[in-house]
């Protein structure tokens, strides 16, 4: 059977119809497309960088820290990789810190230090990060993970930026944080001592002396060692702990208690110079003298 083709006139009519649908059908398709409006690109007008920065500062002055974070965030996005972006990121950290959004302040400070480690404001970013950890230190009865993190951040500040204006304050807060950590160890040590778990108690008190020797808890830790060793019948260690306590803190009420405890057992303090206790205190005394 011969193949028949549409005549030229009919083919032209088909093409015209298709063309009219192709050109005029857009409006019809849009009218039935539920996503047409939803996915129209949003055009964000450019705002001058200095205007965004000033608006952020104004929010800060009004104590609208959340609003300030948003302004500085917009500045960072719209002027990425510029000096304005650097300033915005630092101010984001500061605004979060002032707004007590400490974890957000830590994250912003970390991003700043990753992007701008050699910046003149790097020490301040480190300080904001350390202080955000420090502000979250809990009371001594709770887990001290925040205290550990605060101590690390503060020590990094002193080590990396020793001449910065924040170094002195960091050193003071390092001592406070170390005292907090020592206090936690003492609390746990006393718990074990009261329950007559003397080996566990000794480990905690030894930790205070070896790690937190310059804190206010050292005198009590030494006296508690005397108690625990006497309870275990380890007289030589008890005598040594009492002697070290008396040598370094002769006027301490804790030494008077330790001495009385030894006397009740017919003993006197006697220091063993080769012991870890004596070496530990000789080490700290040497460091203190060299620092002076």
Mark 18-57 as b/e (b = at least 16 C-beta within 10 Å). eeeeeeeeeeeeeeeeeeeeeeeeeeeeeeebeebbebbe
Provide the token pair at 29. 């398709």
CATH number at residue 274: 1.25.40.10
Q: Is residue 179 part of a domain?
A: no
Provide the token pair at 258. 């330790």
Say how far apart CA 37 and CA 31 lie, in whole Å. 10
Domain hosting residue 193, numbered range: 185-282
Provide the token pair at 149. 């993190």
Kindly report, residue by residue over 79-93, the tens digit of the pLDDT: 999 999 999 999 999
Q: Look at residue 209 and tell me whether its pLDDT is greater than 90.
A: yes
Q: Is residue 22 part of a domain?
A: no
- CB count in 10 Å sphere of residue 212: 22
Q: Report, as an integer, the average pLDDT of 245-250.
A: 95
Q: How many degrees, rounded to 5, is the angle at CA 21 between CA 18 and CA 24?
A: 145
Q: Is residue 212 part of a domain?
A: yes
How much is the pLDDT for 41?
Answer: 54
Q: Is residue 31 part of a domain?
A: no
Alpha-helical regions (H) of 161-248: 167-194, 198-211, 218-232, 235-248
Provide the token pair at 93. 């950290």
Q: Is residue 36 part of a domain?
A: no
Residues 284/249, Cβ–Cβ less than 8 Å? no
| pTM confidence score | 0.78
Q: Is residue 23 part of a domain?
A: no
Question: Residue 136 carries which DSSP code?
Answer: T
Q: Report, as an integer, the average pLDDT of 223-229.
A: 98
Mapped onto helix, strand or coil, the DSSP state of residue 116 is: coil
How much is the pLDDT for 20?
Answer: 42
Q: Is residue 28 part of a domain?
A: no
Q: Report, as an integer, the average pLDDT of 211-217.
A: 94
Split at pLDDT 50, 70, 90, the class of 280 is confident
Q: Look at residue 11 and tell me whether its pLDDT is greater than 50.
A: no
Q: Is residue 232 part of a domain?
A: yes
Count of the separate structural domains present in the chain: 1
Query: Which long-range contacts link 107-111 to residues 24+ away (Cβ below 8 Å)?
Result: none
- CB count in 10 Å sphere of residue 7: 9
């Amino acid at each position: 059977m011969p193949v028949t083709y549409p005549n030229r006139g009919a083919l032209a009519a088909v093409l015209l119809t298709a063309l009219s649908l192709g050109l005029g059908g857009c409006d019809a398709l849009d009218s039935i497309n539920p996503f047409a409006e939803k996915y129209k690109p949003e055009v964000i007008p450019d705002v001058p960088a200095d205007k965004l920065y000033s608006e952020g500062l104004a929010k800060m002055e009004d104590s609208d820290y959340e609003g300030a974070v948003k302004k500085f965030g917009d500045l960072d996005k719209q002027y990425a990789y510029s000096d304005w972006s650097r300033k915005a990121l630092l101010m984001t950290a500061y605004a979060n810190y002032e707004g007590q959004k400490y974890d957000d302040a830590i994250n912003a400070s970390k991003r700043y230090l990753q992007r701008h480690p050699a910046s003149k404001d790097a020490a301040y970013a480190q300080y904001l990060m350390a202080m955000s950890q420090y502000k979250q230190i809990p009371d001594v009865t709770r887990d001290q993970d925040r205290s550990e993190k605060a101590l690390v951040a503060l020590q990094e500040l002193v080590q990396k930026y020793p001449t910065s204006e924040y170094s002195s304050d960091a050193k003071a807060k390092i001592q406070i944080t170390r005292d907090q950590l020592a206090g936690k160890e003492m609390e746990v040590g006393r718990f074990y001592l009261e329950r007559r778990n003397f080996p566990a108690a000794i480990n905690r008190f030894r930790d205070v002396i070896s790690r937190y020797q310059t804190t206010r808890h050292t005198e009590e830790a030494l006296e508690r060692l005397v108690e625990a060793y006497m309870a275990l019948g380890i007289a030589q260690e008890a005598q040594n702990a009492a002697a070290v306590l008396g040598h370094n803190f002769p006027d301490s009420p804790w030494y008077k208690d330790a001495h009385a405890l030894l006397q009740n057992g017919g003993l006197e303090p006697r220091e063993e110079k080769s012991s870890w206790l004596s070496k530990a205190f000789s080490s700290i005394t040497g460091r203190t003298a060299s620092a002076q």
